[in-house]
Amino acid sequence: MATLRISHVRVMAALTLVWAALIGLSVLQDVLFLSGNLGDKLYLLDVDHEVSFYTWMSSTNLLFAALILAFVSIQLFAEKNPLRFHWLLLSLIFAGLSCDEFVQIHEKISGAISAYFPTSGYLLFAWVIPAGIVGILGFLAYIPFIRSFTPRLQMQLVLSAVIFIGGAVFLEAITAHLVWDEALDQHISWTTISREYWSYRMVANLEEAMEGGGVLLFIDAIWRYQKNLASTVALVLG
C-alpha cells in the first residue's frame, strides 16, 4: 500500500506563516483605515469578518486538527486504549468548530439565550456563558487525556487551551462590553463600532490571533503525539 508522508515541521511552519501574515495584514489595514489613510477596507483581509481568508484558514486548521484526532482514535481503538473515546469525541468537537466558523452556530445559540434571558455588558454575546461552563467542565474531564502526553506536551496542551479559550470567550466578552458601552454612550450601531473604533478593532484582532494561535499549538502537540504511534492507516503524518 502506498503511503503519503506529510512533513510535520514544514506544514506547521507554513500554517504559522499564513496565520501571522493574515493577522498582520488585518492589523495593518485597520491602522491605515482608522488613521484615514485608506479609503475603504478589503473585508477579505478582515479577521473579524465572516467571509474572509482568515475565516477560511481557521476553519481549515480546525478540520485538520479533527482529522489528526480521528487518525489517533483509530489507532487507539485498535489497541482498546481507555482514552480512545476522548480522542474520538475531541475529533467530533473540532469538526463542529470547523463548521461553526462558517455556519456561525454560536451566534444562533446566543440569540436563543438572549431571547429568554436578556444579557448586556460583558455577557452581551450570550453564547460565552455556556461556552465558558463547557470549557471548564471539559478541561476537568480531559485531565487523564492531558496526562497521557509527555510533560512538555502537557504544558503545550494546557497553554493552547488557555490561549484559545482566553481569546474565544474572555476577549469576546471584552468586545461585547466595548460594544455595549459605546452603543449606550454614543447611541450608535454595533456595525459602526466594530468598523470604526480603535479599541474594538485591536481587541478583535487580538482575539482572533489568540484563537488561531491556540489551535496551531494544539495541532503541533497532537501531531507530535501521533508521530510516536505505529500508524494503522494509509496516511502517515510524519
The predicted pLDDT at position 102 comes to 76
Q: What is the dihedral sign for C-alpha 187, 191, 192, 193?
A: positive
Q: Are 54 and 22 in contact (CB under 8 A)?
A: yes
pLDDT in tens, 202-236: 888 999 999 999 999 999 999 999 887 754 444 44
Indicate the pairing of strand 235-236 with strand 4-5. parallel
Q: Which residues of the chain have pLDDT under 70?
A: 1-5, 105-124, 126, 179-196, 230-238
pLDDT of residue 199: 78
pTM for this structure? Answer: 0.85
Q: What is the pLDDT of residue 185?
A: 53
pLDDT of residue 232: 43
Q: Show the cell assigned to 169.
A: 470567550
User: Which tens digit of pLDDT belongs to each residue from 71-86?
Assistant: 999 989 988 999 999 9
